[in-house]
Amino acid sequence: MKAKLFLLMIFLFNSILAQHKDSPREIAMETTIEHIGDYAQFAPSAFSLITILAKNDKKGLWQFSKSASTNLIATWILKYSINKPRPEGKLDGNAFPSGHTSFAFQGASFLQRRYGWKYGIPAYLVAGFVGYSRLEGLNDRHDGWDVLAGAAVGIGSTYLFTTPYMEEHLELSFKSGGGDYLVGVKYKF
C-alpha cells in the first residue's frame, strides 16, 4: 500500500511540474537569448574574415576556407546520420551536433589558432554565449551533449588546417666572442 501511495505522490508531483508555464517575462528573455545566439554565431567568422583582409593573409584565407567547409560538411553529415531528436520533443531530429555552436566555435578557434589568444578570448566568449543560447533559448533546441559536440567539431575542423600566423618570415642573427663571428639566417615557411 505504501508503495502505491508513494508512486501516486511521484505521479502527482511530476504532473504539477509539467503544468508549470513560463511567465511572459521568462518567454521574452528566452526568446531574446535565442535570437541573439542566432545572429552571434556569425560574429567569430565575420571577425576572422575582417582580420584576414586587414592583414592581407592569403594563406589564412585558404586555411579558413578549408576549416569552415570541413566544419559545415562534418556537422551536416553527423546531423543527418545520427538524427537525434530534439529535447523539446519535436520530431525533426538533427539535434546532434549543434550547427550554431559548431559554426561559432570554428570561427573562434580559427582566430585563436591563427592570430593568438588576444583575438581568441573574445571570440570564444561569443561562441560560448551561442552554445548557451542553444540550451537556454525559448525552444530548448539542444542539450549539453549537442552543444559540446558542436564545439568539438568546430574546434577540430580548425585545428586540422590552421597554422599560427607569422608576420616575420626571415630572422637574421649575429654573435661574436673570443675572436669568432657567427652569422645566422632563419627562414620560416
User: pLDDT by residue (tens digit) across 95-139?
Assistant: 788 888 898 999 999 999 989 899 989 999 999 888 888 877 666
Number of domains present in the structure of the chain: 1
Closest listed residue to residue 110, CA positions, set 65, 177, 174: 65
Q: What is the pLDDT of residues 15-70, one digit of tens each?
A: 444 445 667 787 777 778 778 878 988 989 999 999 999 989 889 899 999 999 99
Q: Is residue 20 part of a domain?
A: no
Q: Which structural domain range is residue 130 located in?
A: 26-166
Q: CA-to-CA distance for 99 and 83, rounded, in angstroms?
A: 13
User: For residue 189, is pLDDT > 60?
Assistant: no
Q: Is residue 84 part of a domain?
A: yes
Q: Is residue 3 part of a domain?
A: no
Q: How many residues does the chain have?
A: 189
Q: Is residue 125 part of a domain?
A: yes
Q: What is the pLDDT of residues 64-94, one digit of tens each?
A: 999 999 999 998 888 888 877 777 766 666 7
The predicted pLDDT at position 169 comes to: 56
Q: CA-to-CA distance for 74 and 155, rounded, in angstroms?
A: 12
Pull the grid cell for residue 108.
573562434
Who's near 89: CB < 8 A, 6+ residues apart? Answer: none
Q: What is the pTM of this model?
A: 0.73
Segment 153-161 shows an average pLDDT of: 91
Q: Is residue 52 part of a domain?
A: yes
CB 162 within 8 A of CB 111: no
Q: Is residue 88 part of a domain?
A: yes
Q: Is residue 44 part of a domain?
A: yes
